[in-house]
A = this chain, B = another copy of it.
Amino acid sequence: MTVDAHPAREIDSCQCLPHTGRVTTSPTVQDRLLLPLAEECCTPLLRQPITARQAADLARMFKALADPTRLRLVSMVAAHEGGEACVCELTEPLGLTQPTISHHLKILVGAGIFTRDKRGVWAYYALVPAALDSLSAVLSPAG
């Protein structure tokens, strides 16, 4: 049985809104969530025209969600016992192979939507609620 490779933690600059206090990620990732760039990239979409850079950052986040399998993974992990799941618990419900699931999980970790915690031979994935809160706020008229 193989374990998915540890994905590069290439946290996007748009990993913002740690305001809820519900960040469950590791200190390293959380530190990067607090990057000063966060405020710039998460300007609400409807308040004023966003810049090219803000648009590029936001587009990367939406791209991570623009896939049915990844949306189901987000939904499944969020609803899973303890708010986290192992890749081994996600393959069967989705009817996909482990490498495919791992590929999608890597994209979600790269976008800052999931954290990845390796324990023993398995990696456990958990939602970063602040990431979705951030996107929700970006789309809201009130920001």
A126 at the interface (CB under 8 A from B): no
Min CB–CB distance A20 → chain B (angstroms): 9
Kindly specify which of A31-39, A41-49, A114-122 makes contact with the partner chain: A41-49
Question: A127 — nearest CB in chain B belongs to which residue?
Answer: B46
A10 at the interface (CB under 8 A from B): no
Interfacial residues of chain A within 44-70, with CB under 8 A of chain B in the complex: 45-50, 52, 55-56, 58-59, 62-63, 65-70
Interfacial residues of chain A within 85-142, with CB under 8 A of chain B in the complex: 93, 127, 129, 132-133, 135-137, 139-141
Query: Chain A contact residues: over half helix, strand or loop, or mixed?
Result: helix
CB–CB B46/A71 < 8 A: no
CB–CB B139/A45 < 8 A: no
List 30 A-B pairs, Cβ < 8 Å.
A45-B71, A45-B74, A45-B75, A45-B78, A45-B132, A46-B74, A46-B79, A46-B132, A48-B75, A49-B72, A49-B76, A50-B72, A55-B68, A55-B72, A58-B65, A58-B71, A59-B66, A59-B67, A59-B70, A59-B71, A62-B62, A62-B63, A62-B66, A62-B71, A65-B66, A129-B141, A135-B139, A136-B139, A136-B140, A139-B139
